[in-house]
Amino acid sequence: MRGYSEQLSGIIEPTVAGLGYELLGVEYFLRRESALVRVYIDHPSGIGLDDCERVSHQVSGILDVADPIRSQYSLEVSSPGLDRPLFTAAHFERFPGQRVRIKIDGLWEGRKNIAGELLGCESGNVLVAEEGVAYKIPLDLIGSARLVPVSEE
């Protein structure tokens, strides 16, 4: 589904940017009778409900015209939240030292998941330290990744 999410990002991004927001990424999920398109946006001053409504209205119109989704679908527009999703190399480079949880597409070194400290991204590999061991995970094998909020005690 990553290819389809990227296709949708290409359709949506100019509209989101034109409204003054950053498109962080798009998730596409097939459900029983419809699909779900989840769009993550950001802005230096933060994202509120009004921002999500504004972007949702415009993106809905663009998707209706472009018609890339042949079935019924629901559209959600969201801020990244505390457990921010990471989609691109730039996203991984932006949060070194943060905790991250990564789900692998298929298997990588016998694993489907890895969680640890995000070290960055270089040469198409995401660098993560887990229990003192550094790993280089090819970016194109990552199905999804999110920051893990750390509670202040």
Q: What is the pLDDT of residues 57-106, one digit of tens each?
A: 999 999 999 888 888 899 999 999 999 999 999 999 999 999 999 999 88
Q: What is the pLDDT of residue 1?
A: 44
Residue 134: inside a domain: yes
Residue 84: inside a domain: no
Residue 83: inside a domain: no
Residue bearing the bigger pLDDT, 38 or 110: 38
Report the domain count for the chain: 2
> Percent of the chain at pLDDT above 70?
97
Residue ranges making up the domain that contains 98: 89-147
- Do residues 74 and 105 share a domain? no
> Percent of the chain at pLDDT above 90?
77
Residue bearing the bigger pLDDT, 1 or 122: 122
Token pair listed for 100? 């991250």
- CATH code where residue 48 lies: 3.30.300.70
Q: Which residues contact 10 (CB under 8 A, 6 or more apart)?
A: none
Residue 120: inside a domain: yes
pTM of the full structure: 0.85
Separation of alpha carbons 78 and 62, rounded Å? 17
